[in-house]
Amino acid sequence: MQIDILSLFPEMFTGPMTSSIIGKAQERGIAKIELTDFRQFAHNKHGHVDDYPYGGGAGMLLQVQPIDEALQLINDRHPDTQKRVVLMDPAGESFNQAKAEELAQAEHLVFICGHYEGYDERIRNYVTDEISLGDYVLTGGELGAMVVIDATVRLLAETVGNEASITGDSFSTGLLEYPQYTRPREYKGMAVPEVLFSGDHGKIATWKAKEALRRTYERRPDLLDDYPLTDQDKQWLAEFAQSEEDESEEN
């Protein structure tokens, strides 16, 4: 996968994009990340790429011309790739695992990281996707782009050593991930559930399914609104609700 990032602060990406799994993905040729400082396309001696909004208003807006010329440079470098141009914007759709899986199918991703108060609206004419990390505002799009790239690149084939760990991720199945344990078997009175030592793969799979549902019910019940519940799931949910009611009465 080819990834291009347009940013006024390309140095911010040096550590996160060259370390750990993302760094290894680049070393192995699974992903290639290129950075472009679009300030180089400013048409003024001061290197300004922003200006005051027409009609008044607070703050400065990112100009369309530097972004247009930076995108043209990328098109010249990679004329034959199908590109998805991602604008990091608080007004975009909220990023989630399904979006990461969608982006992981792309051949070429281009990220526009804004700064200042906002964008000249005409920049959106060059964009295929507008993404937000959530209902809050950052100082720029760089951190958001790093999150989206990390979540996307780790889904590419052979990026993560054990690909089964990806398919079982929280949100990939529609539920949060079930609790997991490793050595020691008991620590300060906290014991690993016995079923995990039973050797009965059927029982272990059932326990994992039930605990994933329990964790989702307790922490993110909103995820269950669109989740296709089985009859067994509904029975477990009834058990969880009854258990909560019993605990409430005891207290």
Q: Which residues are annotated as a binding site for S-adenosyl-L-methionine?
A: 114, 133-138
Q: Is 142 considered catalytic here?
A: no
User: In 10 A of CB 72, how many CB atoms?
Assistant: 12
| Residue entry with tokens 């016995």 | 194
With CA atoms as reference, report the closest residue to 142 among 111, 167, 172: 111
- The burial class, CB within 10 Å (0-12 / 13-18 / 19+), for 134 is exposed
| Catalytic entry in 37, 68, 150, 169 | 169
- Which residues contact residue 46 at a Cβ distance below 8 angstroms, ignoring those fewer than 6 apart? none
Query: Binding-site residues, please?
Result: 114, 133-138
Q: Is 221 considered catalytic here?
A: no
DSSP secondary-structure letter at 176? P
Please tell me the distance from the alpha carbon of residue 33 to that of residue 109, in angstroms, as a whole number: 9
DSSP secondary-structure letter at 189? T
Instruction: Identify the H or E element spanning 215.
Output: helix 201-219
- Which residues contact residue 208 at a Cβ distance below 8 angstroms, ignoring those fewer than 6 apart? 178
| Catalytic entry in 89, 154, 211, 214 | 154
| Catalytic entry in 69, 101, 102, 117 | 117
Q: Is 34 considered catalytic here?
A: no
**Could you tell me how many residues make up the chain?**
251
Q: Is 169 considered catalytic here?
A: yes
Tokens in use for 61? Answer: 């807006």
| Catalytic entry in 16, 68, 84, 90 | 90
The C-alpha torsion from 209 through 214 and 219 to 223, rounded to 10°, is 60
- The residues carrying an active-site annotation are 90, 117, 154, 169
